[in-house]
Structure 1
Amino acid sequence: MTDWIAIGSINDIPRRGARCVKSPIGTIAVFRTVDDKVYAIEDRCPHRGGPLSQGIVHGAQVTCPLHNWVFSLETGEAQGADEGQVRTFALRLEGEVIYIDADLAMAIAAE
Structure 2
Amino acid sequence: MSTWIDIAALDSVPKRGARLIKTALGCVAVFRTGTDEVFALDNACPHKNGPLAEGIVHDKAVTCPLHNWVISLETGMVQGEDTGQVATYPARVVDGRITLDAAFLKQREVA
One-letter amino acid matched to 2:105: A
Mark the CA change 1:51 to 1:6 in structure 2 (over 3 Å): closer, same or farther: same
- Secondary structure at the aligned position of 2:35 is classed as coil
**Are the equivalent residues in 1 in contact too, given 2:89–2:105 (CA < 8 A)?**
yes
Deviations 1:10-33 (A, max 9, x none): 100110111112257753100000
Q: Is structure 2 residue 16 aligned with structure 1 residue 16?
A: yes
Q: Between the two proteins, what is the percent identity of the paired residues?
A: 49
Question: What's the counterpart of residue 54 of structure 2?
Answer: 54
Across the two proteins, how many residue pairs are aligned to each other? 110
**Are the equivalent residues in 2 in contact too, given 1:52–1:64 (CA < 8 A)?**
yes
- Secondary structure at the aligned position of 2:108 is classed as helix
Deviations 1:31-64 (A, max 9, x none): 0000110000000001011000000000000000
Mark the CA change 1:104 to 1:61 in structure 2 (over 3 Å): closer, same or farther: same
Question: What's the counterpart of residue 103 of structure 1?
Answer: 103
Structure 2 unmatched runs, 5+: none
One-letter amino acid matched to 1:36: D
Q: TM-score, normalised by structure 2?
A: 0.93
* 1-structure distance, mates of 2:16, 2:83: 23
Deviations 1:81-111 (A, max 9, x none): 011000000012112011100011112247x
Question: What's the counterpart of residue 89 of structure 1?
Answer: 89
